[in-house]
Structure 1
Amino acid sequence: MEFPKESWKEASPESQGVNPKKLNEAMDYLAGVSGQQGNRQALVIRNGFVIWKGDETDNLHTVWSVSKSFTSTVLGLLVDEGKCTLDTKAAQYVPFLEEMYPDVTLRHLTTMTSGYCAVGNPPGGAGSLTPFVPAKPLYKPGEKYFYNNDGMHVLAYALTRIAGEPLKDIFRRRIADPVGIKNWEWRDFGVIDGILVNGGTDNIGVGVSITAEGMARLGHLFLNRGNWDGKQLISAEWIRQATSVQVPADLPELPYLPMYSDANHALGSGIYGFNWWVNGTKANGERNWKHAPPGTFYASGLNNNMCCVVPEWNLVFVRLGTDCSVKNSEYDIFWKIMSKAIAEYV
C-alpha cells in the first residue's frame, strides 16, 4: 500500500488491476449526471496510487455535510483517549440540554437519533440559525432517526467542552498534519463561554472546506483502518464502528426536506454509522448501492460532495463540487460500471 508524501503518486489503471476503458466509461457517466462541474474535482485512487484525476482537484470550497465525518473523527479521537464514551450524556458539558435533553448521549447525536430540535427549525427542516437554543424534543432519545444538522452543532459544542480546545486544532494536530492535508479550513461560531466552537456540519457556513486531494487523504486513512504508513493515528476499532451500521434498519424515520427524498441522504435506518454512510441493508431488504461491495462506506454532502471508501477494492473515490446533487440510483449505475472496470480487467 502506497501513502502520499507531498503529493499523490500516479499510476496507470492497468498497473493497479483496473480496465482503463471501463474506468473512463464510469467517470464519463459521472460527468454526465453531475452538472456543469462534472468530474473535474474527482479522483480515483487504488492501492494508494491515483489512477484517474480531474483537472481541478486542488479547488478549495465547502463540502457541506461531509463536515459531519470530520466531527465524528474528533469524537473517535476523544473516545480513544478516554476523555468520553459514546454513552456520555451531552448535558454534562452542555448546560442548555439539562432541562429538555438530560438523557441524550454522544451516541444519539452522532447517529441522528437524539430527537434534538432547535428554535427556528421547521418540521423536516435542514436546521436553524440558532442551533444552541433548544426547542421541544422531536422524540425520545433513540426512538427514531432524523437527519439533524442542529444536533451536529450540539455534538461539536459538547466535544469542544470535553476536549478543552477547538475541534479544528485537534483535527489538525492528530489527523491533518500527519497525513499531509494542508489546504483546508474549519469555520466556527466564534467564542462561546470562553472557547472557540467549530461547526459540527456546514448548513450555515461553519463547516469544513477542503480540496479533493486533501479529502482523499482522509479516505485513505480510513481505508487503512486509521494507520498512516505504519503510524496508528486513530484506533482501528473506532474506524470499524464508525463505518458499520449503527442505526437499525427497522428504526422509524422522520421525513426530511423534499430536495433530499431521492438523493444521497437523509434517511439512514440500516445505512448510517457514526456520521459515515454505510452500504447496508434497508428495511425493505435492499442494499443502499447494490452494485457496490457491501463494505463500502462514504462521507456525503450537498452538491454531490462524496468521499467513498471501498475496502474490498483498496479504493478511494472522491468527487467534490458546488453545483448539483446526484440521485442514489445514478450512483448505483456508476458503481455498476466501476465493478466491471475491476472484474473485467485482464
Structure 2
Amino acid sequence: MKLILMVLFCGLALAPVDAQTPYYFPASNGVWLQKDTKDLNISNDQLNMAVDFAKANEYSGSRDLRIAILEGFKSEPYHDVLGPTKKRGGPAGMILKNGFVIKSWGDTQRVDMTFSVTKSFLSTMAGLAVDQGLISKVDDRVSSYVWDGTFDGEHNNKITWRHLLQQTSDWSGEIWGGKDWADRPPKEGGVDDWKYRTLQEPGTVMEYNDVRVNVLAYALTHVWRKPMPMVLKDEIMDRIGASSTWRWYGYENAWTEIDGIQMKSVTGGGHSGGGLFINTEDMARFGLLFLNDGKWKDEQLISKAWIKEAMTPSVPNTNYGFMWWLNSKGDRNWKQLSENIYYAAGFGGNFIVVDKEHDLVVVTRWLEPSKIEEFMVKVNNALY
C-alpha cells in the first residue's frame, strides 16, 4: 500500500502544471460575480482612492457630444458631424482581477459613444479575417483584395494591410466626403500646403487619421462581404455573452454595394460621429477576452498568434501596434507601470486597459485623458 501511494504521489508531482491563473468568465445573463479585494491581496483603501480619483476627474468637454466633437476638431477644414452622436453619461468604470469585478462605479450598463476605442474592435475584424483565411497575410497589398479604384495609383497601390492597421499607409484620397489631408492636419501651414504635401512611403511614418481608418473598415467590409457589425456580433460579442445594446454606426452616406446588396460601411472612430456605441460591461468582456489571449472559456475566438502580432510595436511608433496603444518605452510610456500593458483609447477618456502581468482589465469612461496614467498608477499601488 505504501508503495502504491508513493507511485501515485510521484505521478501527481510530475504531472504538467498550468501556470496561468484560471479566469472567471461571466455568463450572458448580465450577472457578473464580484470578489472581495482582501481575498485577492489587494488594498481596498488604495483601490477606493483610485476610483475616487476617476470620479473627481471627469472629462472636461460637454456632455452633449455633438458639441464636444465640433469643439474638439474645430481646427480641421471642412469638418462636420456626418454620423450619429449621443449625449453621454458621467464617469463610469470597472476593474477586473482574474475576471472578477473588484470595483465598479457609475452606470456600467449605460450605452455611450466610445470613439477611437472602436479602432481596436476594427483591427480585431482584420485579425479574424487572417485567422479564417480571408486575408492570406497582413503584408499583402490591399489592392489585391479591393480592386475598385480605392487603392489605385503608384502610391496607394503599395499599401498593405499592415500599413492600414499601424496607421502608416499615408493613403491619399477621399472617402464618404472626408479628405485624408483635412483629417488632423498639422498646425502649421495652410490648406494648400496640406493638400499638396509630399506623400510618405507606406510604412515609414505613423499618422493618426480617421479617414484612413475608415478606408480599412471599407476594405474589410468588402473582404468579409458583409457589414462589420454582423461580423463582430457573430464572431465575438454573442460568444462572449455581450448585451444586445451595443451598436456600430457609419456615416449617413457610407453605403456600398456588395453582391448586389447595399450595406453600410462603418467608421473606426467617432470624431465625425458614428463608431461603436457600447456599455462599460461589454467593453470589459472584450478586454477579458484579450487578457486570456483570445480564448473565452474553452473557445479560442481570436488566435494567440494574431494578438501577439497586434501588440508588436510598429517601426515608426514604438507605442502603437495594430490599433492598440502599447506601454513600451516611447513618448506615451507610463513610466511607473509594466511595459507589457496595452490599451484601447478613445476621445473623451474612454479606455480598455489590459495588464497581463497582474491579471487586470480596467475600463474607464469619461476620465480626463491626461489623467489616465495617474489613475493607473493608483490602481497599481493597490496591488501588494
Q: TM-score scaled by structure 2?
A: 0.76
Specify the alignment match of 1:88 in structure 2. 140
Give the SS at the match of 2:362: strand
Give the alignment of 1:301-320 within 5 angstroms. Answer: 301-320=346-365
Distance 2:381 2:43 in 1: 8
Specify the alignment match of 2:255 in structure 1. 191
Give the alignment of 1:280-291 within 5 angstroms. Answer: 280-282=328-330, 288-291=333-336
Distance 2:107 2:91 in 1: 5
**Offset at 1:33?**
2.4
Distance 1:135 1:150 in 2: 17
Specify the alignment match of 1:274 in structure 2. 322
Which of residues 160, 169, 191 in structure 2 aligns to 1:105?
A: 160
Give the SS at the match of 2:116: helix
- Residues 1:203 and 2:271 aligned together: yes
Distance 2:240 2:138 in 1: 26
Q: Answer yes or no: is the 8 Å Cα contact 2:183–2:210 preserved in 1.
A: no
Q: Which amino acid is the alignment partner of residue 25 of structure 2?
A: F
Specify the alignment match of 2:369 in structure 1. 326
Compared CA separation, residues 270 and 317, structure 1 to 2 (3 A): same
- Residues 1:146 and 2:146 aligned together: no
- Residues 1:56 and 2:107 aligned together: yes
Compared CA separation, residues 86 and 137, structure 1 to 2 (3 A): farther
Give the SS at the match of 1:3: coil
Distance 1:181 1:74 in 2: 17
Give the SS at the match of 1:165: coil
Q: Answer yes or no: is the 8 Å Cα contact 1:39–1:54 preserved in 2.
A: no
Q: Residues 224-254 of structure 1: CA distance to partner in whole angstroms, max 9, x if unpaired?
A: 0000011101101111111232x22xx3xxx
Q: Answer yes or no: is the 8 Å Cα contact 1:126–1:203 preserved in 2.
A: no
Distance 2:225 2:183 in 1: 31
- Residues 1:24 and 2:82 aligned together: no
Give the SS at the match of 2:42: coil
Q: Which runs of 5+ in 1 are unaligned?
A: 128-133, 252-268
Specify the alignment match of 2:287 in structure 1. 219
Compared CA separation, residues 160 and 287, structure 1 to 2 (3 A): closer
Q: Which amino acid is the alignment partner of residue 167 of structure 2?
A: M
Q: TM-score scaled by structure 1?
A: 0.84
- The structure whose Rg is larger is 2
**Offset at 1:204?**
2.0
Specify the alignment match of 1:231 in structure 2. 299
Q: Answer yes or no: is the 8 Å Cα contact 2:180–2:209 preserved in 1.
A: no
**Offset at 1:164?**
0.9
Q: Percent identity?
A: 31
Give the SS at the match of 1:295: coil
Detail structure 1 runs of 4+ shifted over 6 Å in the superposition: 36-39, 134-137
Q: Which amino acid is the alignment partner of residue 310 of structure 2?
A: A
Distance 1:161 1:24 in 2: 47
Aligned length: 310
**Offset at 1:135?**
8.4
Q: Which runs of 5+ in 2 are unaligned?
A: 1-22, 64-88, 186-194
Q: Residues 129-153 of structure 1: CA distance to partner in whole angstroms, max 9, x if unpaired?
A: xxxxx98773120121101111110
Compared CA separation, residues 291 and 235, structure 1 to 2 (3 A): same
Q: Which amino acid is the alignment partner of residue 314 of structure 1?
A: D
Distance 2:237 2:198 in 1: 36
